[in-house]
Amino acid sequence: MQTNLLSRPTSAKSTNMSDKINHPQLCQWLESVAISRDKQAFTNLFQFFAPKILRIARGKFPNEAQANEVVQDTMSNVWRKAHLYNQDKGAATTWVYTVMRNVTFDMLRKIQGNKEDNLSDDIWPIAESMSIETEIFDDHLEHANLLSVIEELPQAQQDVVKGFYFREMSQEQLAVHLNLPLGTVKSRLRLALGKLKVQLGEQHD
Amino acid sequence: MISHHPKFELIQAFVNGDLPASLSAGIAIHADMCPVCQQTIAQFTEQVAENSFEEEYLDRFIVDDNEALDTIASIDFDHMINNIVESSDIAVVVPKVEHTISFNDKTYTIPAALNSMEMGKHAHIGKLTRARIQLNENEIHTSLLHIQPGGGVPEHTHKGFELTVLLAGSFHDESGEYVKGDFIMLDSSHQHHPISTNGCLCYTVANDALHFTQGINKLLNPIGSFIY
Amino acid sequence: MKKINTTLPIFPLPVFLLPGGVTKLRIFEPRYLKMVSTALSGEGFVVWLQDKYISANEKSTNMPWGSWVEIINFDQGDDGILEIDVKCKSLVAINSITQDEKNLHFGDVSCIPHWSEVHVDKVYGELSTSLASVFAENESLDNLYPQKGLNDSHWVLARWIEILPIELNEKNAFVVSYSFKEAKAFVESVILE
């Protein structure tokens, strides 16, 4: 980021003039991180936010190491969660603030209450109607597990997931498509498969 | 119609992340049902964020620029950047699963803000059932309180404060009727005797106030009227 | 037919794809996100219809095979989850599988020929028009194929086998056992008459 110190009026501090934040630029960097894992864009975001986060964290944590941890965790969440930022829902500054506040909240709870329960993302969600799963499931793509995960989803979500993973017609859809009774379609499928198996058997004999 | 809201000071502290988890969750639950507070929170968050990341605002805290530079120099930013971007991990997002809880054969959806909180066993006293929420906040006790139709809480006061967020159903006390979504904050100067004709489920936060931290105490104590 | 022996990431999924077939996948897990990023710059990955989806009594299904796909589009769903469109470019035999420390599978693969990758300029008439109307009725399916091969009888047949409601182990047989002729007779006897 270019901070043009020379062109800044020297009286800036005594007046109410504020450094305008370049919101479109911040949004663009965040998008680049989200879409292409753009390291330069992240470096730009880091240079803009990190010193400010550090100063704010120093106000909340007397311990320097803890303040550094806030910077580290906040920026690393920005890197890992950039794809959850939706610019229609607000400014990049608001989103990064939320990430920082959540990191700070969980860390304070950890220090004061000795609880590592990370409640902040439930209280202040950073993605709409979703929760962040930080733990990696072991092989949840294995069929049985995947199915049980799917079973647990609300119906609307199930449709979406099934719609993508098991993209094929249902027998009912096929019946509607062919304008035939479901029973006819079922027996057609059965007969056609049976015929194939017979042929296969003959080849192997 | 929701008619009891958190006062603005409380919303400010919520946005700043200065409230304990129990009260933060209470406000989040209320805001989930209250578009008015939702908007206030969104606007205030935007404003705080803007201020936080504006150079001028921060400069106000910096007495000595050299000191600021020293502070910043004490972290190796380049090293931190490299560490972060080295990771190819992306936060995994899963559809929020609704959690439910049953009281006397009635099943309720647990508010999303409480999703990761640990629930204790149910305790029954007459028509009341209470499930403690384990937040480890010392003198602050947080619970889900279920009242069966016709049940009520005996007249009581609290040394500190008592927050009730109505999650389902309704109840009334000497001051009137409360409905789903209402955010009812009482302080020690008030006695009340809530009764639920048709049953209700509440999220409650109360403290014994002996060791209540100063900042928050200041915030909660000057409640002029019975309900604000 | 070019012979390629190469190592590719393996994505075990109950999805049946023939060359030319496209499907949308939602990617949740970090290790698969990593795979996607590798695939974007590399040679794609393999969608593997694992043995366990295929019933044990199908004796002729011993050969592990997968659909070698390339990512042709990606997007973020409304819920923030990464969605990718993948297109199968060839079927491959999976000769061996290893796992890296992130639990991602890699396979040593070699291409296997299949009738569905051969383009044939021959119109099927009714099978084509019927498939065209399935696309017309199903927007999300239609969107996957901006360019359809409705004049290519192999393309039409392959898409029918992908979308027909039959068990995955039965679909599997269209790769390991049945010929083009048998596949054609099967689809025709279901759709026509």
Write the pLDDT tens digit of every residue in B170-209.
999 888 899 999 999 987 767 677 889 999 999 999 876 4
> Please, are residues B133 and B118 in contact by the beta-carbon 8 Å criterion?
yes
CATH H superfamily, domain C5-113: LON domain-like (2.30.130.40)
Residue B166 confidence class, pLDDT cut points 50, 70, 90: very high
CATH number of B1-228: 2.60.120.10
User: What is the reported pLDDT for B208?
Assistant: 62
- The residue-averaged pLDDT of A66-83 equals 92
Burial class (CB in 10 A: 0-12, 13-18, 19+), B64: exposed
pLDDT at B73: 53
B171-173 and B176-178 beta bridge pairing: antiparallel
Give how far C107 is from chain A: nearest CA, Å. Answer: 17
Kindly give, in sequence order, each residue whose CB lies less than 8 Å from that of residue A53, ignoring residues fewer than 6 positions away: A70, A71, A74, A75, A100
Picking from A137, A138, A161, the nearest residue to C26 by CB comes out as A161
Residues near A14 by beta carbon (within 8 Å), at least 6 away in sequence:
none
**Residue with token string 């049980």:** A148
Domain A20-123 fold is: Rna Polymerase Sigma Factor; Chain: A (1.10.1740)
Percentage above 90 pLDDT, chain B: 42
**Please, are residues C150 and C120 in contact by the beta-carbon 8 Å criterion?**
no
CB < 8 Å from C in window 82-121 of A: 83-84, 86
Hey, is the C-beta of B47 within 8 angstroms of any chain A C-beta?
A: no
Contact by Cβ (8 Å): B104, B146: yes
Closest Cα partner for B122 from B113, B135, B132? B132
> CB of B87 within 8 Å of any CB in chain C?
no
pLDDT bin (cut points 50, 70, 90) of residue A200 is: low
For residue C139, pLDDT over 90 is answered with no
Contacts of B among chains (3+ CB pairs under 8 A): A, C
Mean pLDDT of A156-180: 62
pTM here is: 0.54
For residue B32, give the nearest of B212, B166, B196 by alpha carbon.
B166
* Cβ contacts of C47 within 8 Å, gap of 6 or more: C11, C13, C15, C17, C66, C67, C69, C86, C88
**Spatial contact of C85 and C48, defined as CB atoms under 8 Å apart:** no
Three-class secondary structure assignment of C11-64: EECCCCCCCCCEEEEEECCHHHHHHHHHHHHCCCEEEECCHHHCCCCCHHHCCC
Cα(B77)–Cα(B83) distance, integer angstroms: 10
Question: Which residues between 99 and 138 in chain A have a beta carbon less than 8 angstroms from any beta carbon of chain B?
Answer: 101-102, 104-105, 108-109, 113-115, 117-120, 122-125, 127, 129-134, 136
| More confident call, C9 vs B168 | B168
Q: Which amino acid is at A141?
A: L
CA proximity to C32, closest of C19, C13, C50: C13
- Let me know: does A111 contact A66? Beta carbons within 8 Å: yes
Are the beta carbons of C82 and B90 separated by less than 8 Å? yes
* Distance, CA of B172 to CA of B176 (rounded, Å): 5
- Helix B21-33 vs helix A92-113: crossing angle, to nearest 10: 140
Q: How close B172 comes to chain A (CA, Å)?
A: 28
Residue C19 pLDDT class (50, 70, 90 cuts): very high
Q: Mean pLDDT throughout C161-174?
A: 86
Q: What is the pLDDT of residue C78?
A: 63
Residue B184 · residue B2 · CB < 8 Å: no
Per-residue confidence band for A111, with pLDDT thresholds at 50, 70 and 90: confident
* Residue from C81, C84, C97 whose CB has the most chain A CBs within 10 Å, to mutate: C81
ipTM above 0.90, yes or no: no
Q: Is A169 on the interface with B (CB under 8 A)?
A: no
Would an 8 Å CB–CB cutoff place C80 in contact with chain B?
yes
Per-residue model confidence (pLDDT) at position C40: 66
For the cut 90, the answer to whether the pLDDT of residue B34 exceeds it is: yes
What are A63's two structure tokens? 């311990």
* A138-147, C22-31, C44-53: range with lowest mean pLDDT: A138-147
d(CA B181, CA B170): 10
Q: What is the pLDDT of residue A144?
A: 37
Q: Which two tokens stand for residue C25?
A: 């996948």
For the ranges A177-191, B36-50, B155-169, the lowest mean pLDDT is seen at: B155-169
Which residues touch B107 (CB under 8 Å, ≥6 apart)?
Answer: B100, B101
Q: Which CATH code, of 2.30.30, 2.60.40, 1.10.10, 1.10.3470, is assigned to A143-204? A: 1.10.10
pLDDT of the residue at B227: 19
Main-chain phi, psi angles of B183, to 5 degrees: -115, 105
Q: Under an 8 A CB cutoff, do B117 and A104 touch?
A: no
Query: Could you read off the pLDDT of C31-90 as tens digits, one per residue?
Result: 666 667 776 667 888 888 765 544 444 444 456 889 999 888 777 666 666 777 889 999
Among B94, C82, C79, smallest CA distance to A132 is for B94
Ordered DSSP codes for B187-226: ETT--B--EESS-EEEEEEEE--SS--HHHHHHHS---SS
Percent of all residues in chain B with a pLDDT value above 70, rounded to a whole number: 75
CA–CA min distance B57, chain A (Å): 8
Name the pairing type of β-strands B100-103 and B92-95: unpaired
Q: Rounded CA gap, C106 and C95, in Å?
A: 11
Considering A94-103, B84-93, B120-129, C53-62, the range whose residues carry the highest mean pLDDT is A94-103
pLDDT band at residue C29 using 50, 70 and 90 as cut-offs: low
- Lowest-confidence pick of B22-26, C25-29, C112-116: C25-29
**Phi and psi at residue B84, in whole multiples of 5°?**
-70, -50
pLDDT of res. B209? 45
Higher pLDDT, B139 or B50: B50
Res C146 pLDDT > 90: no
Average pLDDT across chain B, whole number:
79
CB contact under 8 Å between B88 and C29, yes or no, is no
> How far apart (Å, rounded) are the C-alpha atoms in residues C135 and B221?
65
Please indicate whether residue A204 or residue C90 has the higher confidence score (pLDDT): C90
- Work out the pLDDT band at C135, boundaries 50, 70, 90: confident
Residues of chain B with Cβ-Cβ distance to A101 below 8 Å are: 15-17
Q: What pLDDT, in 10s, does the model give residues B57-105? A: 444 444 444 455 455 555 678 888 988 888 777 776 666 678 889 998 8
